[in-house]
Amino acid sequence: MIEVEHIEKRFGAFWAVRGATFRVDRGEAVGLLGPNGAGKTTTIRMITGFLPPDAGHVRIDGKDILNDSLAARACIGYLPESTPLYPEMTVQGLLQHRARLFRIPRRERRAAVDRAIEQCWLTEMRRRRVGHLSKGYRQRVGLAAAILHDPPALILDEPTNGLDPTQITEMRRLMRELAQDRAVIVSSHILSEVEKTCDRIIVIARGAIRANSTIETFGGGACPRCILEAKIDDQTAASAFGDALRALPGVSNVDLESLADWRRFVLTPDVDAPPIAERVGKVVLQHDVVVRELRQEAPSLESAFLELIARADIEDQA
């Protein structure tokens, strides 16, 4: 549905996007994730035809965004960042205006506007001026304008920006609903946002794609860390116990923290190492220490994301 092939964009000497390639199929919601200034909005602007790529191709439903631009743009519903709208128009008037721009036939226009208003919970606000609405409602109007023509591809740039928690939950529900029969790209710098609404994550940093995987496999399926809290009063004994853990096969690092009467050992496994908790248990028995907690902690999306970004920074500086 949305095919992006080796797109590049440069502003002077600055590479905004370098060789981005990915595709999003119908029924799939993909999160475009990256820190501020990573190239997310530029990528989205190239997909929507607002900016032409310096190189590469974008196709929406098989239509090239440059060579068959109007047809490709007709397939896209787009909610730009910060939801720019005409403040002097009423909600209904603005949607009718958008319906005319998207060439919705006159006899279907009213039904399309009513449907979008209902889907975005705007019924009570339909006669209010957009400039008099709260940020949350404006966001909904922007979304209603994006889905008005029932597009097969939906692109939402920071859709939950400025919404309160209830509105965020409603927006997420709506996004999941919309993704059932559409190709959806959600751009965000908020990890939990993407985790809750998308099936797949594309991480972009310094203009290049650093990861493209499902939520479950994101982070490369790294082994979970092992966290152990034990009561060891003597510093020497604690060090010896730490050394014993470090000597275990598959353990790459052990960090020691003191917590009042307890000590916390955080064991980081080698890449592709088998789970280490069992072997840690054996060491505990050998040293006969009192343990109050031994648990495995899967690497969070956040830590995997931060690691990717840090790696991108290092590669870029190199």
- Which residues in this chain contact other proteins in the complex, by CB under 8 A? 45, 48-52, 70-71, 73-74, 76, 78, 80, 82, 84-86, 88-89, 97-98, 100-103, 145
Indicate the residue among 54 and 199 with the shorter CB distance to other proteins: 54
Would you call 6 helix, strand, or coil by DSSP? strand
Min dist. Cβ of residue 52 to other proteins (A): 6
Distances (CA, A) of 190 to 81, 196, 260: 14, 10, 35
DSSP E strand boundaries for 131-286: 153-157, 183-188, 200-205, 208-214, 225-231, 251-259, 262-269
Indicate the residue among 134 and 192 with the shorter CB distance to other proteins: 134
Would you call 217 helix, strand, or coil by DSSP? coil
Question: The sheet that has 153-157: what strands, in order across it?
Answer: 76-79, 153-157, 183-188, 28-33, 200-205, 208-214
CA distance 125 to 257: 55
Indicate the residue among 74 and 244 with the shorter CB distance to other proteins: 74
Min dist. Cβ of residue 46 to other proteins (A): 10
- The token pair that represents 303 in the structure block: 């830590």
Indicate the residue among 17 and 51 with the shorter CB distance to other proteins: 51
Min dist. Cβ of residue 142 to other proteins (A): 8
Min dist. Cβ of residue 86 to other proteins (A): 6
Is residue 199 a contact partner of residue 30, using CB atoms and an 8 Å limit? yes
Indicate the residue among 150 and 270 with the shorter CB distance to other proteins: 150
Indicate the residue among 141 and 194 with the shorter CB distance to other proteins: 141
Indicate the residue among 94 and 251 with the shorter CB distance to other proteins: 94
Min dist. Cβ of residue 189 to other proteins (A): 19
| Count of positions (residues) in the chain | 318
| Residue 56: CB atoms within 10 Å | 16
Min dist. Cβ of residue 147 to other proteins (A): 13
C-alpha closest to that of 149 among 59, 71, 75, 60: 75
Distances (CA, A) of 215 to 68, 276, 305: 34, 24, 11
Min dist. Cβ of residue 149 to other proteins (A): 9
